[in-house]
Amino acid sequence: MSYSVLVIPILIFMIIGFGLTKKVAVYEEFVDGAKEGFSTAVRIIPYLVAMLFAIAMFRASGAMESMITMISPLFELVGIPPEVLPMAIIRPLTGSGSVGVLAELIAQYGQDSIIVKIAATMFGSTETTLYVLAVYFGAINVSKTGYALQAGLIADFTGFIAATAVCLLMFI
């Protein structure tokens, strides 16, 4: 049984309940805060279009697949199953793409295979870095992102290595 479904309803209940005890005009404040939602979403659009169309072209051209075939021998050399490589490359680029990769791996190798375990750990342990970057900096109209991308990608890379190492140690 999963209790995680309870988190959001309880959180909402707590926020509103606490607001009521502190005599906050909850409805008015909610609407006031929510007003920003739409304008922020609209402001993000150009950044999201820029990021998503480039990633989509990259995937559709087949360039990514040949990149994967090119570097997979390197992975084998250090003992990482090369089948998990697509996940490592797609995860920072697209969320829906990495869900697709995981589903494919499950269909091909089965839930209990070490490949799926590594890929799922990779999936669970990092975010879609480029999407987060586009959305967060888009919302404040900043296109000079400094070293945010570099730091994010270093974190992703470390996460992938750690995911592989932990799974290989725990499940083999």
Partner 1 sequence: MLSYLWAGMIMTSVVFALGSDISDEINNTYANQQAYHFKYQLSSQQGQASFIPGNNPVFFTVNEDKQQLVIDSDKSLPLIWQHIAHHQSVEDKTQLVLTITEINENKQELTVRLPEVHWVKIRAITKAAFNMAEFAVKLAIGLAGIMALWLGLMRIAEKSGLIHYFVKLIYPVLHWLFPKIDKNEPVLGSISLNMTANMLGLGNAATPMGIKAMQQLQQLNRHKDRASDEMCMFLAINTSSVQLLPPVTLIAIMGAGVSELLLPIILATSASTIAAIISAKAFARMRSN
Q: Output the CA–CA distances (angstroms, integers) from residue 66 to 60, 61, 99, 105, in the order listed.
A: 12, 10, 20, 18
Task: Please identify which residue in 10, 71, 74, 99 interacts with partner 1, judged by CB under 8 A.
Answer: 99
Task: Please identify which residue in 9, 19, 76, 108 interacts with partner 1, judged by CB under 8 A.
Answer: 19
Residue 10, interface with partner 1 (CB under 8 A)?
A: no
The interface region with partner 1, picked from 27-35, 68-76, 80-88 by CB under 8 A, is 27-35
Nearer to partner 1, 74 or 107 (CB): 107
Between 32 and 61, how does the x/- string for binding to partner 1 read (CB under 8 A)?
Answer: xxxxxxx-xxx-xx--xxxxxxxxxxxxxx
Task: Give the residue among 113, 123, 120 at the shortest CA–CA distance from 171.
Answer: 113
CA–CA gap between residue 131 and residue 93 (Å, rounded): 7
Task: Please identify which residue in 2, 70, 77, 78 interacts with partner 1, judged by CB under 8 A.
Answer: 2
CA–CA gap between residue 77 and residue 79 (Å, rounded): 6
Nearer to partner 1, 68 or 149 (CB): 149
Q: How many CB atoms lie within 10 A of CB 131?
A: 19
* Cβ atoms of 40 and 139 closer than 8 Å: yes
Q: How many CB atoms lie within 10 A of CB 68?
A: 17
Between 140 and 159, how does the x/- string for binding to partner 1 read (CB under 8 A)?
Answer: x-xxxxxxxxxxx-xxxxxx
The interface region with partner 1, picked from 19-27, 70-78, 79-87 by CB under 8 A, is 19-27
Restricting to residues 63-92, name those near partner 1 by CB under 8 A: 63, 66, 92
The number of residues that bind partner 1 (CB under 8 A) is 96
CA–CA gap between residue 47 and residue 96 (Å, rounded): 18
Restricting to residues 102-141, name those near partner 1 by CB under 8 A: 102-103, 106, 111-112, 117, 120-129, 132-133, 135-137, 139-140
Torsional sign, CA 154, 155, 159, 165: positive
